[in-house]
Amino acid sequence: MDAYGPLYGASAAGAAMLSRYTLSAVFPLFALKLYKTLGVGWATSLLAFCTLAMAPIPWLFWRFGGGIREKSKYETSA
């Protein structure tokens, strides 16, 4: 958000919140069926594996974020 300034930063925050709230609203719709079908152990393991797969994402943004921001036409800090 800081890289895109007050004009585009609000849109970035809004997109992040929308995705978070959408997942929060949709998760209860499939969670019960997931746990009934796979059982508690495998359903929780599946969620853990998804979490492990997404764990490198913050590091990737830290490592390659500067290049991503340089290519953006909305970046305002430079």
Q: Amino acid letter at 47?
A: L
Range 23-48 average pLDDT: 95
Q: Tokens representing 25?
A: 């609203």
Residues 6+ apart with CB under 8 A from 8: 74, 76
Q: Is the dihedral angle over the CA atoms 40, 31, 58, 1 positive or is it negative?
A: negative
Range 26-45 average pLDDT: 95
User: Measured at the alpha carbon of residue 14, what is the angle toward residues 78 and 17, in degrees to the nearest 5?
Assistant: 120
Which has more pLDDT, 15 or 72? 15
- pTM (predicted TM-score): 0.63
